[in-house]
Amino acid sequence: MDLDPFFEERLRVHRKYLFDQALGSVRSRLSALWPFAKGPAAMTGMGGGATPASAAPPQDAVAPASTESKPALGPHARARARHRQAALAWDRRELHKVGLAGPRIRTTEHVVEVPGHPDVRVRVYHPDPDDPPAQGVPGVLSFFGGAFRIGGIGYPTTDAANRRRVHDAGVAIAAVDYALAPEHPYPVAIEQAHAALEWLFESAGELGIDARRIGVAGTSAGANLAAAVTLVNRDRGGRPLRLQVLEVPVVDLTGGHLDLRATRALGIPRFIALRELRSVARTYLADPRQGREPYASPLLADSHEGLPPAVILTAEYDPLRGDGDAYGAALRRAGVDASVVRYQGVTHDTPIFSSALPAARRWHDDVVAALRRLHA
């Protein structure tokens, strides 16, 4: 199916962004090799990547990083800070222009201890039904997307999506503000995710959640964490998870299941697409060999038996569609109830555009329908 016209201008901007990034990387390497260069190599080739897919944030969104009363940051850390500020500004504008704000929902903030790793913040969105069931409402542990290096539970589109899903599905969502790479590489986020899952089960009663009806959900890198935590949970004792909802998941960090026909159809050369996608794994993994570990690449686990039923959503113009297809097939071979739905004519970040794109509204409805399975 042809790409939806909604994406045409966004695709032009995104292609330019990727080409500029690739060109900046070449310049940076040449500068490093030039014996008379002054100062550190150019910062443009760091592979910041992972700008929420269809467009790069404009430079006027970048605010200078403050260093008052803080240790001086190195050039790479300053570049990451600027990139994250730009991504947050981009996200805020996208919600205003093409998204849908979430309804007023009661939220509570919690800090979960993670042995051997930084504590993690969890925000719980409560549906507060007029007639709450005595046993509590279903609960979902949720992980945001952002290539492991940007994003957070406070990003406007993430917060709005959680609010809308809680309201429409009648479930509580516990959103995990896991630590970002490269400051906190794998497996820090995995350990935080598992600690948050244990906390959710142990605290279910006081949160008004039914511990018999808990699932996990995630988007992109967050879907990687959601899938990984089902494996960790199974391997470390097995809380009774009822569901996993994985949106545009990346589940093989070796890149072995990328479907580059999707990027080729968008006019993005193979080497540029691979550069961008591989930079995600390089940022998250301290050692490339970790990409073959099952908690880093859930698709590569020796066994997928005993995992919860899965609903997987992919997009036609997204190279990660190959990951989603392969993971659904692996789950089904292991006897897990799993379905994979591919949305035609759309891209990786489709759910953001709820006010402008019919497919995004359908996406929301399908996620809500999946979450409502926890009421059964």
Point out the residues that are catalytic: 220, 318, 348
Nearest Cα neighbor of 261 from 312, 316, 323, 299 is: 316
Question: Are 120 and 158 within 8 A, CB to CB?
Answer: no
Which of 326, 305, 333, 139 shows the shortest CA–CA distance to 234? 305
Strand positions, DSSP E, 75-184: 106-112, 120-126, 137-143, 172-177
Per the omega criterion (within 30 degrees of 0), is the bond before 308 cis?
no
The C-alpha atoms of residue 111 and residue 203 are separated, in whole angstroms, by 12
**Cβ-contact 137, 129 below 8 angstroms:** yes
φ/ψ of residue 281, rounded to 5: -65, -40
Structure tokens that stand for 150 in this block: 């940007």
Q: What are phi and psi of 305, to 5 degrees?
A: -70, 145
* CA-closest candidate to residue 251, choices 320, 340, 339, 179: 320
CA dihedral for 266, 160, 98, 244, sign (positive or negative)? positive
What is each CA distance from 244 to 51, 226, 370, in whole angstroms? 25, 7, 9
Q: How far apart are CA 128 and CA 209, in angstroms?
A: 11
d(CA 102, CA 95): 10
Which neighbouring-strand residues pair with 139?
172, 214
What's the CA gap between 283 and 140, in Å, rounded? 27
